[in-house]
Amino acid sequence: MIHLSQARSSIIFEHDGDSLAVLYWGKKLGAINEKSAEAIRSALSKPHFHGGLDVAPGNLILREHSHGWIGHPALRGHRGGVSASNAFTVKSAVQKEQSMVAVFVDVIAGLEIEITYTLTPSDVLLMDAKVTNTAEGDYFLDHFLYWLPLAEQADEVLDFYGHWTKERQPQRRSIDYGLITREGFEGRSGHDYTITQVALNHATGFRHGEAWSLAMAWSGNNIHHVERLIDGHKSIGAGEYLLPGEVILKKGESYSAPRAIASFSDRGLDGLTNNHYSWIRARKNHITKVRPRPLTLNMWEAVYFNHNEEGIRNMVDKAAQIGVERVVLDDGWFGSRRNDRAGLGDWVVSKDAWPNGLDPIIKYINDKGIEFGLWFEGEMVNRDSDLYRAHPDWILQEPGRLPIEGRWQQVLDLTKEGAYNHVLNQVDAVLSAHNIAYIKWDHNRHLTDPISDGRPVVREQTEAIYRMFDELKKRHPGLEIESCSSGGGRIDLGMIEHADRFWTSDQNDPLERQQIQRWTGLVIPPEFLGTHIGPTVGHQMNRTHSVSFRALNALFGHAGIEWDITEADVHETEVLKAYVAFYKKHRDLLHSGTVVRSDEIVGNAQLYGTVALDKKEAIFTYMQLTSLDNFGPLLTTFDGLDKETLYQVTVIENLSAVEFTQKRAPGWWPTLALTGDQLAHIGLQLPVLKPESGLLFHMRAL
């Protein structure tokens, strides 16, 4: 018996000679000696049911039908229609500290599988697998999936759906008999991607209850399953979705499956979130270990394709006045790109858009102490471009058929050396010729025909963009890359190893953004998530929101602005200055603390915050999304603080709502001192807020 254990979780493997099973995955268990191991085996030994086989398999890692499993297997493949049944034996299963490496062999099928399980100090379980063809002839791999068992009390599943401007919308449903499946075939993780799949108890909330999550560290096609079988097994699985013929292994060749990332929490969904944040932030290359996240102004919604240098200089003047640290010039600076129908693929500064080149505007920006960033979409090409006219064969396509277009774009085949080098070298040349600290890399369509020379290549295309990002960073030390894909179409736990920021959504409406940001942040830390103040009248929903509501929405992320700020009046400018100053002062806390999301405030409002790891400081936001059901009393409590510590609670009035539906404010307004215990159980009487407004609280230990 092999027992991996960390602060709050355990996973136990049972090796019976021929097979390896997961006996338990859940809340931390104490040390297991030989006697207790035997007792656990007996306790979990299944009866043999009438009408079934003469074996009752446990939670087998590889789930072979030849061993009596009746659900989905971990491996599926064949050798030209034969050798489709597998019966693996365990060659070795070795524990080293809190990791276990297991090697399985199937002599008849000519296969070897190696799986490594690592339970990190953050209670995140990492799984890595490799499938090797050890026999003569080709092995056609259909899929390899990771599977983990679920406890009986896991009776619901939470996953996410969405589309452009409305990503990561939650759906929660019961785990009934059969298979619950979410699959993505876009050639990217996608707007409809379930960023992680969570099994949980029906009573589990943000702050309480048990939850089990499983996600793929992968930016290509994907599968997520929850399976409940009639024999009592319940499990969660995930893997890369392979297209027919995508992986064909010759003798000695291996398929390295993308990493799977799992976690267990007995502290609700916030526990899962904080497990992931702790693990991500512990990496040596984590972005906040390099530098604080710069306050960013992106110019897309300010200028679109109208690149007028004088207007942009005016915007930069205002940006410097309010304290912006990075300015990003978006689409339209290159080739014949005066609209979205031409120019993609020609990454050369346009003399039409920038007669004097980019150097003068970059110098103007840098002289004000601001970094410069630039937009690219290197994986795409317009047919109206010099690149396509020269190399129409450099797109992904079924031979003899031109794919349908999305945004008048085709997809460049980065598995072709010529196409890959063209993009890499043109982007490299622009970066080498100018002082560019940051690139925003877009991906504005999904892959309908991901075929190269007749074979599907989603996997190779995904690996190519990882490789390109890494190479650009190697050539340009300190370069940061933002992953954008029509907003949030490529946000996943694979891209965090290659990009430094995600554009969370093209939706800048703060009311819509609340839900998008809340659930994207389930596993992705806020320092990765671009959150911007959009225009007063939103370009997506055409709604008008106060600048304070937009600021509060944008604060809990990698904060920025997406607005022609020369339009801001005196009041809006003062709020922008306050927003920038507060973010700069407190971003270390916002990007390092423990997440707290209230279970008490639900429905028409949200309360969430970040508590410092030492619990000496906290920032909370209360957002009134729609109208109140009554005028009061409206009490809110604040969880996650130290019970014995006395905190000075202060409303940050210059970033909070200024209009209320009340004759007088609550008696404590705008500051008072309470202990963490009192704040958690007595709470504060709030003012009567109008819809689409909010409050910002700062708490400091006295």
Alpha-carbon torsion, ordered 121, 125, 131, 132, to 10 deg: 10
- Given a contact cutoff of 8 angstroms between Cβ atoms, the answer to whether 100 and 93 are in contact is yes
What span, in angstroms and rounded, lies between the C-alpha atoms of 155 and 176? 8
Residue 496 DSSP one-character state: G
Residue in 197, 207, 208, 196 with CA at minimum distance from that of residue 175: 197
Question: Which residue in 192, 506, 509, 639 is the catalytic one?
Answer: 506
What span, in angstroms and rounded, lies between the C-alpha atoms of 556 and 547? 15
Q: Look up residue 250 and give its amino acid.
A: K
Judged by DSSP in three states, 84 sits in coil
- Residues facing 673 on adjacent strands: 648
Judged by DSSP in three states, 595 sits in strand
What stretches of 444-509 show up as alpha helix (H) in DSSP? 458-475
What span, in angstroms and rounded, lies between the C-alpha atoms of 608 and 139? 51
Q: What is the largest CA-CA distance in the chain?
A: 84
Q: Look up residue 260 and give its amino acid.
A: A
Close Cβ partners of 477 (under 8 Å, ≥ 6 residues apart): none
What span, in angstroms and rounded, lies between the C-alpha atoms of 493 and 700? 33
Q: Is 330 a catalytic residue?
A: no
Q: Is 506 a catalytic residue?
A: yes
Buried b / exposed e over 205-226, threshold 16 CB at 10 Å, is bbbbbbbbbbbbbbbbbbbbbb
- Given a contact cutoff of 8 angstroms between Cβ atoms, the answer to whether 448 and 403 are in contact is yes
What span, in angstroms and rounded, lies between the C-alpha atoms of 699 and 616? 8
Count the Cβ atoms, other than its own, within 10 Å of residue 658: 11
What span, in angstroms and rounded, lies between the C-alpha atoms of 651 and 670? 5
- Given a contact cutoff of 8 angstroms between Cβ atoms, the answer to whether 493 and 167 are in contact is no
What span, in angstroms and rounded, lies between the C-alpha atoms of 473 and 466? 11
Residue in 643, 663, 660, 653 with CA at minimum distance from that of residue 698: 653
What span, in angstroms and rounded, lies between the C-alpha atoms of 216 and 259? 6
β-bridge pairing 558-561 and 296-298: parallel
What span, in angstroms and rounded, lies between the C-alpha atoms of 251 and 138? 7
What span, in angstroms and rounded, lies between the C-alpha atoms of 326 and 200? 41
- Given a contact cutoff of 8 angstroms between Cβ atoms, the answer to whether 29 and 44 are in contact is no
- Given a contact cutoff of 8 angstroms between Cβ atoms, the answer to whether 290 and 260 are in contact is no
- Given a contact cutoff of 8 angstroms between Cβ atoms, the answer to whether 622 and 695 are in contact is yes
Residue in 680, 657, 556 with CA at minimum distance from that of residue 669: 657
- Given a contact cutoff of 8 angstroms between Cβ atoms, the answer to whether 362 and 372 are in contact is yes
What span, in angstroms and rounded, lies between the C-alpha atoms of 683 and 676? 9
What span, in angstroms and rounded, lies between the C-alpha atoms of 479 and 481? 7
Tokens for 314?
């005016």
What span, in angstroms and rounded, lies between the C-alpha atoms of 223 and 241? 6
What span, in angstroms and rounded, lies between the C-alpha atoms of 669 and 26? 44
Question: Which residue in 442, 492, 500, 509 is the catalytic one?
Answer: 442
Residue in 566, 691, 578, 562 with CA at minimum distance from that of residue 625: 691
What positions carry a catalytic annotation? 442, 506
